[in-house]
Amino acid sequence: MQPLVLDAGRRPVVADPPIVLAPMAGVTNAPFRTLCRRYGGGLYVSEMVGARALVEAARQGHLDLARDAGDADRWADDAPDSRQRTVLRAAFSPDEDPRSLQLYATDPDELHAAVALLAERDLVDHVDLNVGCPAKKVTRHGGGAALPWRTGLFARLVDAAVRAADGRPVTVKMRMGIDAAHLTYLDAGRAARDAGAAAVTLHGRTAEDAYAGHADWDAIGRLVDAIGDDVPVLGNGDIWQASDAVAMIARTGCAGVVIGRGCLGRPWLFRDLEAALAGRPVPPPPTLREIADMLREHARLLVDHLGEDAGMRDIRKHTGWYLQGIDLGRPLRLALRQVERLDQLDELLAVVDLDVEMPESALEMHRGHSHGPKPVSLPHGWLDSRDDPAPLAAAAADVVSGG
């Protein structure tokens, strides 16, 4: 399959194969991206970072993303504060190329300032905009998946990022809309194209759907029909194994796929995707022993990045994803969720029979969020007009979450 080429005039960003790691809050930090990149090519995007918080970190003199990527010793004894958490979410590994960052913003001026800062310091090669988060704390202020309902505001946001990016590609990740009665994706896709976006990603669910049911791949196809000749459309939603990506592309005509929950505890999925999209046989799944080694390596990378205390707190949720479907017994599974040290992780894994065959059912299990549908929380009167020029409340820019 053809590579994904994002070209806005400065230096093309190429994803070969056309696979993108979806930004996921608390997951797609530099250590996780490092591990996934070892298994295959593609574009690996950071966690979502608030534009306002990024500018504030720079104002305080604390924004050197390459330096901060492995500077765990500065907060090894204490949990990172809010400024440090912003920098860590935005940090890159020294060998990371291209450097791809997702931003969240609801104010065009703040977004312009953040992207201009990244461009002036040459900190990133690609900027992705999140207007797809379904979290209540985001949509109740008009942000995330609620924001494209305000067509003018959405267009100004994309335009502000493109103007500030100095030739770096800007892409947009969105959902179908607020709910089935308030779809926004076709209008938003056209507006993003007209504002100069280099690509658009559509998660085939609404904010109301959250993560329930099955993603609507046909909606991705409709967006391809609407703008696919002008800018690449990427598909997102329910790609759990390589065959799903092949099926999505065949069904929708999308230019590539964006992988979210499917790679949780399965970093080798990028190897499988690379093979499948090249028309090669998908390699056999890793053994349980190999998966345990991945878990250990993931923990080590997190400790190097965050320090042992924060790094081991971070790995706890991953233990369940790596070992989902394995009969460990409740006491051991609970102990893994409370692990505090690298040597303790080794001790816990030492009691697992790593020579048993990995059950096929475990490899096919879905992971991550599964909640929904749920009512969408919106500001008062939000649905009354799509053209209201009033700026969003200041609180809208302060909340950051994945989606």
The catalytic residue positions are 133
Q: Is 289 helix (H, G, I), strand (E, B) or coil?
A: helix
The CA distance from 56 to 63, in Å, is 9
Check if the beta carbon of residue 182 is closer than 8 Å to that of residue 172: no
Check if the beta carbon of residue 321 is closer than 8 Å to that of residue 262: no
Check if the beta carbon of residue 253 is closer than 8 Å to that of residue 221: yes
Question: What tokens were used for 14?
Answer: 């190429």
For residue 128, the cross-strand partners are 102, 171
H or E element in which residue 199 lies: strand 199-203
Residue 108 half-sphere exposure, CB side, CA atoms within 13 Å? 16
Amino acid code (one letter) for 17: P
Q: What is the DSSP string of 70-90?
A: T-GGGGSSS---HHHHHHHHH
Question: What tokens were used for 192?
Answer: 């993003």
Q: Is 36 helix (H, G, I), strand (E, B) or coil?
A: helix
Q: What is the 3-state secondary structure (H, E, C) of 127-186?
A: EEEEECCCCHHHHCCCCHHHHHHCHHHHHHHHHHHHHHCCCCCEEEEEECEEECCEECHH
**Would you say how long the chain is, in residues?**
403
Alpha-carbon separation of residue 57 from 53, 256, 397 (angstroms): 6, 34, 15
The CA distance from 351 to 391, in Å, is 57
Question: What tokens were used for 2?
Answer: 């053809």
The CA distance from 56 to 22, in Å, is 25
Residue 169 phi, psi dihedral angles, 5° rounding: -70, 140
Q: Is 337 helix (H, G, I), strand (E, B) or coil?
A: coil
Question: What tokens were used for 84?
Answer: 């440090």
Q: Let me know if 291 is exposed, middle or buried by CB neighbors in 10 A (0-12, 13-18, 19+).
A: buried
